[in-house]
Amino acid sequence: MKKLMMLGLLLVLMMPLYAHASWTVGTNPGTTYTTTAITGFQTHGDDMAGMSVTAYFAGGGSQTLTWAATIPGAGGVTGTGWSLVESGDTFSNLWTLTSTSASLTGLRIFGVPTTTFDTGYASDTPGSEGGLAFQYDSGYATGTATYRDLLALTGFAPKGDLYVTLDLAFSGTFLNTNLKFYADTDNATSTIISSPEPLTLLLLGLGLTGLAGLRRRDK
């Protein structure tokens, strides 16, 4: 009986730890980007150098910084009253977002030139492995994580597992707190570029056809 009472008390104490964490994770195909190949699926903090991180502030305004390597295996950005860092393989190690004096409403991590988020959704893009989508660990407990802008290998349709952008939207005021989360990334062998939209490709094709017709007429 005593053991059962202790177990019940433990469960009651543990319940708020799970009840207060409520993050919604979704995807938006957005703009399709391409790269020639995925070079590595074990991406560390220093491998993501060059990508951009934008913090959005309450009352308007934003600050965009470029991710840089800090020590071997780690990287991050430090802004005005906020920071984002990651150390180790992104599949199994935490990102930490901290706000010391800035009131944040959202955060955008844009992987260009060579970083992509591997959500593990759908089938694996060649060169990639099973990924891990955003997972809350601790800290700020409510918000929405949205993966945007599909990535595909040149000449192929996207598989649906890789995305270029991760947007975090906070449900309240992110101030004087932190957020720890998991979000797996991969590295591309070449610069990730935006693919022309199908309509653009169609117009380009029609234009080339028209030029060919003019040349034949001139002859």
Q: What is the CA radius of gyration of the chain?
A: 22
Does 209 score more than 50 pLDDT? Answer: no
What pLDDT sits at residue 44?
97
Interatomic CA distance for residues 32 and 162, integer angstroms = 10
Convert the pLDDT of each residue in 112-164 to its tens digit.
999 999 999 998 999 998 899 999 999 999 999 999 999 999 999 999 999 99
What kind and span of H or E run contains 168?
A: strand 162-174
What pLDDT sits at residue 21?
65
What pLDDT sits at residue 207?
41
What pLDDT sits at residue 176?
97
Per-residue confidence band for 196, with pLDDT thresholds at 50, 70 and 90: low
What pLDDT sits at residue 88?
97
- Between residues 87 and 204, the one the model is more confident about: 87
Convert the pLDDT of each residue in 13-60 to its tens digit.
233 333 346 999 999 999 999 999 998 789 999 999 999 999 999 999
Interatomic CA distance for residues 62 and 115, integer angstroms = 22
Record the tokens describing residue 192, joined without a space: 């990730």
Interatomic CA distance for residues 124 and 44, integer angstroms = 19
Does 202 score more than 90 pLDDT? Answer: no
Mean confidence (pLDDT) of the chain: 84
What pLDDT sits at residue 69?
98
Does 206 score more than 80 pLDDT? Answer: no
What percentage of residues in the chain have a pLDDT greater than 70? 79
Strands (DSSP E) found in 74-134? 74-78, 82-87, 95-99, 104-110, 115-118
